[in-house]
């Protein structure tokens, strides 16, 4: 097979030229080839393997490029990288690898193209296209990756036990590719992942999370989470989700399986948003249900304050997984905390409750509504329709109230300074009390969200507290 058109662009002909000038044999390999053949044009990274010195090749390519980009050399790995406007190109000399137990960093020695293909994770990632003049564009595929690509199968070139044990990150990659591409992990491979699941411990949290993000960013993350669960990887990453698994029964009363419910919610929200953090919020929205689950003889199963408990758990979870403890985390916490509020509203939509919701959610109100709609997983068609209809009403009410009262980016209409000036006060607790009372009165609809009504209200409140006008 010849894939000349795949590598007809300027950059490949230039790499080919540099390679023949140095008397090397060079190939494009890995993700670029895979994605080209799958017609997925997402790859901005190109991996180049050469039989010889990858660093020297990178330097020669840079020399031939008009802007002569800087070559970044990673001596320890014997690799080099350069960036053009759109691409990141990595160069490596073909190598053999041997691994030791406690590390995913192999001992490396020089090797042939086939040695290099053997050391790769999946047959579909071991496909190489020649950049050599004599067979430019030829596909080199010793493990029949092309037929795995056609059949949608993830298979390792070597014994899967070895491939996964050598570099356990590949277990995550297998599941990520299966989720992203809708591929099936070949059964020996799947068993090997389950067998080697404990090896995940040698992988840094950051790398695990990178893969998890990619699973969550895919069209149907539940595929990945079910695989992570079946292979025993999930308890090592997110035990909070595993704790949601199962259905208990007391006095004939059951509750839903909150693990599978959560996965449905995540799949649902992927239909309406690409926002990675809102997807994370969907994944974590019920984690507080495991620690708060109780059976009450009168009301059945309860998960009292699970939203509050869940939002507290988010911080510990992010910290443990070395995820950023920044605004993204705060957003996830906020979504988890507020996740039941619109549901409560759906049965009793009062203006003041809507104002409070808009006040608490602020600019994230639309994300919150998406989360709540995704949370509808009932299989009862009538209920499904009714719940969605209720949320439509909530949305309309939000729009109406927001247009009238502008609560979304609430700014206190009366400042602390003005209160001090009006009553000739020094800083004291009562100023905060008056400000809070004004806010409450606005949210309750007793006064409008404007200066004049708030000013009058402040005068009344001040008098009640015994303050005298300046």
- Strands 153-154 and 184-185 come out as parallel
Q: Residue 87 and residue 85: Cα distance in Å, rounded?
A: 6
In whole angstroms, how close is the CB of 357 to ligand CTP at the nearest point? 39
d(CA 432, CA 443): 16
Name the segment binding ligand CTP (CB under 6 A); options: 105-113, 117-125, 424-432, 447-455.
117-125
**268 within 8 A of 260, measured Cβ to Cβ:** no
- Nearer to ligand CTP by Cβ, of 121 and 405: the residue is 121
Dihedral sign for Cα atoms in the order 408, 413, 416, 417: positive
Q: Judged by CB under 6 A, which stretch of 74-82, 167-175, 252-260, 322-330 contacts ligand CTP?
A: 167-175
CB of 325 to ligand CTP, least distance (A): 26
Q: Which is nearer to ligand CTP, 97 or 360 (CB)?
A: 97
Identify which range of 118-126, 240-248, 265-273, 461-469 contacts ligand CTP by CB under 6 A: 118-126
Q: Are 86 and 46 in contact (CB under 8 A)?
A: no
Listing DSSP states for 64-131 in one string gives HSTT-PPPEEEGGGTEEEEE-SS-EEEEEE-EEEE--TT-S--EEEE--HHHHHHTSS-GGGS-EEE-
Q: 120 or 461, CB closer to ligand CTP?
A: 120
Cα gap 75→52, rounded to integer Å: 15
* Residue 461 engages ligand CTP in binding (rule: CB under 6 A): no
Nearer to ligand CTP, 173 or 279 (CB): 173
45 binds ligand CTP (CB under 6 A): yes
Stretch in the footprint of ligand CTP (CB under 6 A) among 49-57, 75-83, 165-173, 220-228: 165-173
Measured from the CB atom, the residue of 215 and 374 that comes closer to ligand CTP is: 215
Long-range pairs of 60-65 with CB within 8 A, sequence gap ≥ 24: 60/18, 60/19, 60/21, 60/22, 61/14, 61/15, 61/18, 61/89, 61/91, 63/18, 64/14, 64/17, 64/18, 65/14
Three-state DSSP at 50 gives: strand
d(CA 58, CA 79): 9
How many residues bind ligand CTP (CB under 6 A)? The answer is: 11
Which of 15, 169, 234, 372 is close enough to bind ligand CTP by CB under 6 A? 169
Point out which span in 169-177, 360-368, 379-387, 417-425 binds ligand CTP (CB under 6 A).
169-177
118 touching ligand CTP, by CB under 6 A = no
Query: Among 24, 29, 46, 44, which residue's Cα sits nearest to residue 90?
Result: 46
Interface with ligand CTP, residue 160, by CB under 6 A: no
Q: Is 23 helix (H, G, I), strand (E, B) or coil?
A: coil
Tell me which stretch binds ligand CTP (CB under 6 A): 67-75, 120-128, 253-261, 454-462: 120-128
**Is there binding between residue 170 and ligand CTP (CB under 6 A)?**
yes
Query: Considering only residues 3, 12, 15, 30, which one is a binding residue for ligand CTP as defined by CB under 6 A?
Result: 30
One residue of 16, 47, 157, 442 binding ligand CTP per CB under 6 A: 47
- Would you state the structure tokens that stand for residue 61, as one six-digit string? 């390519």
Nearer Cβ to ligand CTP, position 56 or 217? 217
Q: Minimal distance in Å, beta carbon 275 to ligand CTP? A: 20
Which residues make Cβ contacts (< 8 Å) with residue 433, sequence separation at least 6? 461, 465
Residues near ligand CTP, by CB under 6 A: 30-31, 45, 47, 120-121, 125, 167, 169-170, 173
């Amino acid at each position: 097979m010849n894939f000349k058109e795949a590598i007809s662009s300027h950059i490949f002909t230039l790499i080919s030229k540099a390679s023949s000038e140095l008397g090397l044999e060079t190939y494009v390999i890995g993700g670029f080839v895979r994605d080209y053949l799958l017609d997925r044009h997402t790859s901005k990274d190109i991996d180049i393997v050469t039989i010889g010195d990858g660093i020297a090749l990178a330097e020669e390519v840079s020399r031939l490029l008009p802007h002569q980009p800087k070559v970044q050399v990673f001596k320890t790995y014997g690799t080099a990288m350069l960036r053009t406007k759109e691409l990141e190109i990595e160069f490596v000399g073909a190598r053999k690898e041997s691994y030791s137990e406690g590390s995913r960093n192999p001992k490396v020695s020089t090797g042939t193209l086939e040695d290099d293909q053997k050391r790769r994770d999946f047959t579909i990632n071991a496909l190489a296209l020649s950049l050599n003049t004599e067979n430019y564009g030829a596909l080199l595929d010793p493990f029949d990756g092309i037929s795995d690509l056609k059949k949608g199968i993830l298979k390792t070139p070597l014994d899967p036990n070895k491939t996964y044990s050598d570099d356990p990150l590949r277990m995550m990659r297998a599941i990520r590719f299966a989720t992203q591409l809708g591929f099936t992990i070949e059964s020996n491979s799947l068993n090997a992942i389950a067998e080697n699941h404990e090896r995940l411990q040698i992988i840094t949290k950051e790398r695990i999370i990178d893969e998890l993000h990619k699973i969550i960013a895919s069209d149907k993350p539940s595929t990945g989470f079910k695989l992570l669960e079946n292979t025993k990887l999930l308890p090592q990453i997110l035990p909070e989700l595993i704790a949601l698994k199962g259905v208990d029964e007391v006095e004939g009363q059951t509750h839903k399986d909150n693990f599978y419910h959560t996965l449905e919610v995540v799949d649902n929200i992927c239909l309406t948003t690409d926002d990675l953090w809102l997807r994370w919020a969907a994944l974590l929205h019920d984690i507080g249900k495991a620690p708060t689950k109780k059976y009450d003889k009168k009301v059945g199963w309860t998960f009292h304050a699970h939203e509050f408990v869940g939002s507290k758990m988010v911080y510990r979870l992010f910290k443990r997984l070395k995820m950023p403890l920044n605004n993204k985390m705060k957003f996830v916490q906020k979504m988890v905390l507020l996740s039941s509020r619109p549901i409560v509203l759906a049965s009793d939509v009062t203006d003041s409750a809507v104002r409070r919701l808009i006040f608490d959610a602020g600019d994230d109100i639309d994300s919150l509504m998406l989360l709540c709609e995704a949370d509808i997983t009932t299989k009862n068609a009538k209920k499904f329709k009714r719940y969605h209809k209720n949320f439509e009403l909530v949305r309309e009410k939000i729009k109406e109230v927001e247009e009238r009262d502008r609560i979304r980016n609430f700014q206190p209409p009366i400042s602390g300074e003005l209160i001090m000036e009006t009553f000739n006060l020094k800083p004291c607790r009562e100023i905060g009390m008056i400000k809070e009372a004004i806010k409450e009165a606005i949210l309750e609809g007793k006064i409008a969200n404007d200066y004049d009504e708030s000013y009058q209200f402040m005068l009344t409140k001040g008098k009640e507290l015994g303050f005298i006008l300046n």
